[in-house]
């Protein structure tokens, strides 16, 4: 190999830890979750990602009622729901809503405040079935925390898919960019979010920016990272800031969520459904919610 080719190889991103779910609990009565961020002990190292709940996979029998979580507020960040199995219906105080199913993503910017409900979709509830998804909370920079709420439904066929070299699998770009292909999500700070499927016995290389907070969450399968460490189902691999390149080798067919974002270097004050910069702003958020300023479901 000539010198030019050698120097073009990016430095490897060091794997600094592999984490298991910190807690397992129900969100409302319809979403059994394993909490990875912040429960696994990974918190501000992953800014702008504030929370990662892995919902299911779990089989629900038919129900008369739509299980889930009723009317509740959010302020100061975005909730991103990525569905793998099952159907979820959403309705909020701005009058928007919709149903998302396998492959779809809902990117809701709560910003100054929203009240919403998240339920098993009616038909899905009536028939029963497997539910599997991820809910991610993405922080907003101070300048956008009190901006107008926004709602993006990113349906499966609008999310571009790149076939990986050598039939290694496929990568769907939800947000950010991969090899010149951009994802549909509009974000307030630089974020790359990929849904990656790797085939057993194959490997792929990803390049993500130096200085971004980067992690890989394994939903299913088993992957060896950078030729050394094995990451299994429901584990989160955290990378260091230096270097750009990672090598993922699937030992079994694997489904992974790749998260990489530019850190938001601002103080975080969080309480339940509100994430602001100061304690005073949290108090204000609670008061505004109580006073009905975040609206109600009609
Ligand atoms: Mn919510």
The pLDDT tens digits of the residues spanning 222-231 come to 999 999 999 9
Q: Residue 218 Cα, ligand 1 centroid: separation in angstroms?
A: 23
Residues of the chain with pLDDT > 90: what percent? 93
Give me the chain's average pLDDT, please: 95
Average pLDDT over residues 157-171: 97
Q: Residue 13 Cα, ligand 1 centroid: separation in angstroms?
A: 33
- pLDDT-derived band at 4, boundaries 50, 70, 90: very low
Q: Residue 90 Cα, ligand 1 centroid: separation in angstroms?
A: 9
Q: Residue 135 Cα, ligand 1 centroid: separation in angstroms?
A: 9
Helix (H) or strand (E) holding 4: helix 3-7
Q: How many CB atoms lie within 10 A of CB 64?
A: 6
**CA–CA separation, 119 and 107 (whole Å):** 16
**CA–CA separation, 131 and 33 (whole Å):** 11
Q: Residue 224 Cα, ligand 1 centroid: separation in angstroms?
A: 34
**CA–CA separation, 133 and 83 (whole Å):** 4
Q: Residue 10 Cα, ligand 1 centroid: separation in angstroms?
A: 39
**CA–CA separation, 13 and 193 (whole Å):** 17
- pLDDT computed for residue 8 by the predictor: 61
Q: Residue 180 Cα, ligand 1 centroid: separation in angstroms?
A: 33
51-74 confidence digits (pLDDT tens): 999 999 999 999 999 999 999 999
Look at 43-47, 146-150, 259-263, 271-275 and tell me which has the smallest mean pLDDT.
Answer: 43-47
- pLDDT computed for residue 63 by the predictor: 97
Q: Is 215 helix (H, G, I), strand (E, B) or coil?
A: strand
Q: Residue 205 Cα, ligand 1 centroid: separation in angstroms?
A: 34
Q: Is 154 helix (H, G, I), strand (E, B) or coil?
A: strand
Average pLDDT over residues 253-260: 98
Q: How many CB atoms lie within 10 A of CB 75?
A: 26
Query: Does the pLDDT at position 1 exceed 50?
Result: no
For the four alpha carbons of 189, 194, 33 and 202, in that order, the dihedral sign comes to: negative
- pLDDT computed for residue 5 by the predictor: 45
- pLDDT computed for residue 178 by the predictor: 97
Q: Residue 141 Cα, ligand 1 centroid: separation in angstroms?
A: 19
**CA–CA separation, 248 and 222 (whole Å):** 10
97-113 confidence digits (pLDDT tens): 999 999 999 999 999 99
């Amino acid at each position: 190999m000539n010198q030019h080719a050698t120097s073009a190889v990016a430095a490897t991103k060091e794997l600094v830890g592999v984490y298991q779910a910190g807690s397992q609990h129900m969100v409302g009565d319809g979403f059994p979750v394993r909490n990875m961020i912040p429960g696994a002990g990974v918190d501000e190292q992953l800014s702008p990602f504030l929370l990662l709940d892995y919902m299911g996979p779990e089989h629900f029998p038919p129900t008369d009622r739509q299980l889930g979580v009723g009317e509740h507020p959010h302020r100061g960040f975005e909730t991103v729901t990525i569905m793998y199995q099952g159907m979820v219906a959403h309705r909020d105080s701005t009058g928007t809503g919709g149903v998302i199913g396998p492959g779809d993503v809902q990117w809701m910017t709560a910003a100054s405040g929203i009240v919403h409900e998240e339920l098993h979709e009616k038909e899905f509830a009536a028939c029963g079935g497997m539910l599997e998804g991820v809910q991610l909370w993405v922080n907003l920079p101070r300048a956008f925390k009190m901006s107008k709420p926004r709602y993006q439904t990113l349906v499966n066929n609008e999310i571009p898919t790149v076939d990986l070299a050598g039939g290694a699998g496929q990568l769907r770009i939800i947000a950010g960019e991969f090899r010149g292909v951009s994802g549909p999500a509009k974000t307030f700070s630089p974020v790359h979010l990929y849904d990656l499927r790797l085939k057993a016995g194959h490997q792929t290389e990803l390049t993500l920016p130096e200085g971004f907070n980067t992690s890989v969450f394994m939903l299913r399968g088993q992957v060896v990272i950078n030729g050394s460490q094995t990451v299994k189902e429901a584990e989160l691999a955290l990378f260091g800031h230096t270097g750009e390149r990672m090598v993922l080798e699937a030992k079994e067919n694997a489904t992974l969520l790749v998260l990489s974002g530019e850190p938001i270097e601002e103080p975080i004050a969080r309480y339940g459904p509100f994430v602001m910069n100061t304690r005073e702003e949290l108090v204000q958020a609670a008061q505004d919610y109580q006073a009905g300023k975040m609206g109600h479901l009609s």
